[in-house]
Amino acid sequence: MAEQNKRTRRANGESAIYFGKDERWHARVPMGYKDDGTPYRRHLTRPTRKELVEEVRRLEKQRDQGSAQQPGKPWTVEKWLQHWVENIAKPVVSENTYDGYEVAVRVHLVPGIGKHRLDRLEPEHLESLYRRMQANGQRKAGTAHQAHRTARTALGEAVRRGYAAKNAAALAKPPRMEEDETEVEPYSLHEIKRLLVEARRHRNSARWMLALALGLRQGETLGLRWCDVDLENEYLKLRRNRLRPRYEHGCAETAPCGRKAGYCPDRVQVRRETKNTKSRAGRRVVPLPGPLIVMLRSHAEEQARERKVAGDLWVESDYVFTKPLGGPLSPNTDYHEWKRLLQAAEVRSARLHDARHTAATVLMLLRVPDRVIDLIMGWEPGTSARMRARYQHVPDVMFKEVAGMIAEAIWGPMPAHPMDKDQDNEV
Q: What is the pLDDT of residues 92-107, one digit of tens each?
A: 888 888 889 999 999 9
Q: What percent of the chain has pLDDT over 70?
A: 87
Residues 349, 82: Cα–Cα separation, whole Å? 37
**Is this prediction's pTM over 0.85?**
no
pLDDT in tens, 295-349: 999 999 999 999 999 999 999 999 999 999 999 998 999 999 999 999 999 999 9
The pLDDT of residue 212 is above 80: yes
Q: Look over the chain and give the mean of its residue pLDDT values, rounded to a whole number.
A: 85
Spell out the SS3 assignment of the chain: CHHHHCCCCCCCCCCEEEECCCCCEEEEEEEEECCCCCEEEEEEEECCHHHHHHHHHHHHHHHHHCCCCCCCCCCEHHHHHHHHHHHHHCCCCCHHHHHHHHHHHHHHHHHHHCCCEHHHCCHHHHHHHHHHHHHHHCCCHHHHHHHHHHHHHHHHHHHHCCCCCCCHHHHCCCCCCCHHHHCCCCCCHHHHHHHHHHHCCCCCHHHHHHHHHHCCCHHHHHCCEHHHEECCCCEEEECEEECCCCEECCCCCCCCCCCCHHHCCCCEECCCCEEECCCCCCCEEEECCHHHHHHHHHHHHHHHHHHHHHHHHCECCCECCECCCECECCHHHHHHHHHHHHHHCCCCCCCCCHHHHHHHHHHHHCCCCHHHHHHHHCCCCCCHHHHHHHHCCCCHHHHHHHHHHHHHHHHCCCCCCHHHHHHHHHC
Instruction: Give the CATH number of domain 189-239+277-388.
Output: 1.10.443.10
pLDDT of residue 413: 78
The pLDDT of residue 376 is above 60: yes
Decide if 27 contacts 43 (C-beta within 8 A).
Answer: yes
Helices 354-365 + 205-214 axis angle, to 10: 50
- The per-residue b/e assignment along 68-99, b for 16 or more CB within 10 angstroms, e otherwise, is bbeeeeebbbbebbbebbeebbeeeeeeeebe
pLDDT band for position 390 (cuts 50, 70, 90): confident
pLDDT of residue 423: 43
77-182: CATH topology is DNA polymerase; domain 1 (1.10.150)
pLDDT of residue 398: 66
Phi, psi of 165 (to 5 degrees): -80, -25
pLDDT of residue 426: 41
pLDDT band for position 382 (cuts 50, 70, 90): confident
Residues 246, 95: Cα–Cα separation, whole Å? 10
pLDDT of residue 226: 96
The pLDDT of residue 113 is above 50: yes
Q: What percent of the chain has pLDDT over 90?
A: 48
Q: When comparing pLDDT for 110 and 421, which is higher?
A: 110
pLDDT of residue 8: 44
pLDDT of residue 172: 94
pLDDT in tens, 4-37: 444 444 555 688 999 999 889 999 988 877 666 7
The pLDDT of residue 278 is above 80: no
The pLDDT of residue 180 is above 50: no
What ranges do the domains of the chain cover? 2-65, 77-182, 189-239+277-388
pLDDT of residue 179: 45
**Same fold for the domain at 77-182 and the one at 189-239+277-388?**
no
pLDDT of residue 165: 85
Segment 36-40 shows an average pLDDT of 76
pLDDT of residue 1: 43
Q: When comparing pLDDT for 182 and 320, which is higher?
A: 320
